[in-house]
Amino acid sequence: MLSKNVCLDFCMPEQLIISISGMRGIVGENLTASVAADYGCAFGSYLKSSSAGEKNKGLSVCIGRDSRRSGQMLCSAVAAGLCAVGIDAIDLGLAATPSVGVMVGCLKCAGGVVVTASHNPIQYNGIKLLLGNGMAPPGEAAEQIKQRFLDKHFDLVGSIGCGQMASNSQADETHVNKVLAIVDKAAIAAQGFKVVLDSVNGAGGAVTKELLAELGCRVSAINDEPTGLFAHAPEPIAENLTGLCEAVKSDGADIGFAQDPDADRLAIVDEAGTYIGEEYTLALAAKYVFSKRAGKAATNLSTSRMIDDVAEKAGSRVIRTPVGEANVAAAMLQHNCVIGGEGNGGVIDLRVGPIRDSLVGIALVLQLMTETGSSVSALVDEIGRYYMTKEKFPADREQARRILAEAKQRFALATLDASDGCRFDFPDGSWVHCRASNTEPVMRVIAEAKDQATVQRHIDNMQKIRTTAGIH
Ligand code: MG
């Protein structure tokens, strides 16, 4: 029975996870062709029900995938599910998540699907959903889609009404052109930047090389073949990028870029071959955008306050949101933000799309280097440095609630934002954010300060609070 394997609240890694950002599971165990087809039926049925009055207009959904070898199988299954409920499916083939987002708008689709497990290990795959506005479904919509999937509440059609399948190979070119439109292509090209790109054998290789060629960069690409057999662990964090760091150094490159397998996250290596940390990606992109455009930024509560510093220098400010790309994008739309994203290397520029986009990050950072004439390390020095530690404590929802209640008492003098767990901001500029995970029975604790001792003190305090709350 499927329901036994479906995780609704807390999940062990081996279970099928259905969350606000879609479905994720282990291929051949809980993520199979029939599960993917059902999910396609559920998503298509939801789209039909939510587009009242347009039922006969021939709704379509475009589908892209990262390079995992199970991608074609799952794409075909999702497409079959969509067609079974009367939705036309447009196969984009191998495509970065942000490229699919761009194509949803360009092809005027009712929605988009990306078959990707992002940075998760190779045995995983996932199905990420986008609505017609290019954003992940908000909570209520995600809940309706999940319920339709679990109940098999599908609006199946007969032979005449079946959706049709088509393919479209314009995703890369369309995406690149949208990104080029937000920068000064000629000015960047005049610099002749030397770039090393590590696409971890994911979906980003071809489209990003196309962008960098347009920007006149001399590119040395590693792990750029989309084999789906990742040359290193796919999360773009320091320990996985030693090869990129060495390549930047040995090539004498100006900058190194690392993507995750679906190319929505971007990490940067400076000209000395030093990994600067994903938190700098958004701060650097924002630094350029603020120098040209007036407006606010939006980011989630767990992101470094570097972006607040950058915004303050530009006379702007930052809107903080609950964790989740859709929350950030919604706040950006609501407040007309000129830049946004997440500290994990996800940059969002609404002129391209309401979705994290490593190509946008690359273009904006190269434009910043062009305008300032500064090296990456000099730009990082200008922004300054914070220390951040991310921990997770075992805690179920009830335990997490007790920890947060105790923390509120303990940190009564701090400024509290309780829109997603609790974020406590202290007078010295340091902060700690604690929230229950949506996908695991853990509490995530993130602390940041100007020095490591203060960060450790915050983490230790949270440990003590956990003990005081009777959780061991
Ligand atoms: Mg990703």
Distance 263 CA to ligand 1 centre (A): 6
Q: For residue 274, what is the domain's CATH number?
A: 3.40.120.10
**Same structural domain for residues 403 and 370?**
no
pLDDT-based confidence at residue 156 (cuts at 50, 70, 90):
very high
Residues 339 and 396 in one domain: no
Diameter of the chain measured on Cα atoms: 68
Residue 344 CA, ligand 1 centroid: distance in Å: 10
Domain end: 367, 383, 399, which one?
A: 383
Number of structural domains found in the chain: 3
pTM of the model: 0.94
Q: Please check whether residues 376 and 396 belong to one and the same domain.
A: no
Q: Which residue has the tokens 């990490």?
A: 267
Q: How far is the CA of 250 from the centre of ligand 1 (A)?
A: 28
- Position 54 scores a pLDDT of 58
User: By CB neighbour count within 10 A (0-12 exposed, 13-18 middle, 19+ buried), where does 417 fall?
Assistant: middle
| Gap from CA of 268 to ligand 1 centroid (Å) | 15
Q: At residue 352, does pLDDT exceed 90?
A: yes
Q: What pLDDT shows up at residue 13?
A: 47
- Checking DSSP bridges between strand 22-26 and strand 16-19, what pairing results, if any? antiparallel
Q: How is the beta sheet containing 442-449 ordered, strand by strand? A: 387-394, 442-449, 431-436, 422-425, 415-417
Clarify whether residues 255 and 153 are in a common domain: no
| E-assigned strand segments in 164-249 | 165-167, 194-198, 218-222
Position 11 pLDDT exceeds 60? no
Chain segment 212-270, per-residue pLDDT in tens: 999 999 999 999 999 999 999 999 999 999 999 999 999 999 999 999 999 999 999 99
Same domain, 74 and 24: yes
pLDDT band at 138 (very low <50, low <70, confident <90, very high): confident
The answer to whether residue 92 scores a pLDDT higher than 80 is yes
180 domain-assigned: no
Of 67, 70, 76, 118, catalytic:
118
In a domain, 159, yes or no: yes
Catalytic residue at 118? Answer: yes
Task: Tell me the CA–centroid distance for residue 354 and ligand 1, in Å.
Answer: 14
Asked if residues 362 and 210 have their Cβ atoms less than 8 Å apart, the reply is no
**Helices and strands per DSSP (H, E), number in the chain:** 16, 21
pLDDT at 53 (0 to 100) = 58
Give yes or no: residues 313 and 455 share one domain. no
Q: Which two tokens stand for residue 258?
A: 């690392």
Residue 1 clears pLDDT 80, i.e. is over it: no
Co-location of 370 and 419 in the same domain = no
- Ligand 1 centre and the CA of 402: distance in Å? 32
pLDDT digits (tens, 9 = 90+) for 370-420: 999 999 999 999 999 999 999 998 998 889 999 999 999 999 999 999 999
- The answer to the question of residue 394 being in a domain is yes
Residue 419 covered by a domain = yes
DSSP 373: -
pLDDT score recorded for residue 467: 87
- Identify the band that residue 58 occupies on the pLDDT scale cut at 50, 70 and 90: confident
- Residues 294-304 have pLDDT tens digits of 999 999 999 99
Residues 210, 304, single domain; the answer is yes
Residue 447 lies in a domain: yes
* Domain of residue 438, CATH code: 3.30.310.50
Is 82 a domain residue?
yes
Q: Does 100 share its domain with 206? A: no
Residue 5: what pLDDT? 41
CA distance 10 to 439: 6
Please indicate, yes or no, whether residues 347 and 216 belong to a single structural domain of this protein.
Answer: yes
Q: Name residues with Cβ closer than 5 Å to ligand 1, which is an ion.
A: 118, 260, 262, 264
SS3 at position 32: coil
Q: Alpha-carbon distance 315 to 306, whole Å?
A: 14
217 lies in the same domain as 351: yes
Cα–ligand 1 centroid distance for 20 (angstroms): 15
Q: Identify whether 18 is part of a domain.
A: yes
- Which of 111, 139, 171 is where one domain is finished? 171
Query: 222 C-alpha to center of ligand 1: Å?
Result: 18
Residues 436 and 364 grouped into a single domain? no
Structural domain containing residue 393: 387-468
Q: Which of 360, 383, 406 is the last residue of a domain?
A: 383
Q: Is residue 401 part of a domain?
A: yes
